[in-house]
Amino acid sequence: MIPNYQQVMLPLLRFLSDGQTHTKQEAKEHLSRHFNLSDTELNMFLPSGRQLVFHNRVSWAAVYLKKALLIESPSRGRIKITNRGMEHLRENPGDLKTRDLLQYPEFREFKNKSKQQEDTAGDDDQAGSGRTPEEELEEAYLRYRLELASELLDQVKSCSPAFFERLVVDLITKIGYGGTRKDAGAALGRSGDGGIDGLIKEDRLGLDTIYIQAKKWENPVPIKEVRDFAGALLYKKARKGIFITTSSFPASAQEFVKGIDPKVILIDGSQMTDLMIENGVGLTTINTFSVCRLDTDYFEE
Strand-pair partners of 212: 198, 242
Between helices 251-258 and 223-235, what is the axis angle to 10°?
20
Looking at residues 20-28, what average pLDDT do you find?
94
Instruction: Name the nearest CA neighbour of 281 among 271, 270, 273.
Output: 273
Looking at residues 204-212, what average pLDDT do you find?
77
Q: What Å distances lie between residue 290 and 46, 287, 293, CA to CA? A: 17, 10, 10
Class of domain 5-131: mainly alpha
pLDDT at 202 over 80: no
Question: What whole-number distance in Å separates Cα of residue 250 and Cα of residue 141?
Answer: 29
Residues of the chain with CATH 1.10.10: 5-131
Tell me the residue ranges of DSSP E strands in 120-201: 198-201
pLDDT reported for residue 58: 94
Q: pLDDT-derived band of residue 122, with 50, 70 and 90 as boundaries?
A: very low
Contact 54, 2 (CB under 8 A): yes
pLDDT at 25 over 60: yes
Residues of the chain with CATH 3.40.1350.10: 153-279
pLDDT at 52 over 80: yes
Report strand pairing: 78-81 vs 198-201.
unpaired
The fold of the 153-279 domain, in CATH, is Trna Endonuclease; Chain: A, domain 1 (3.40.1350)
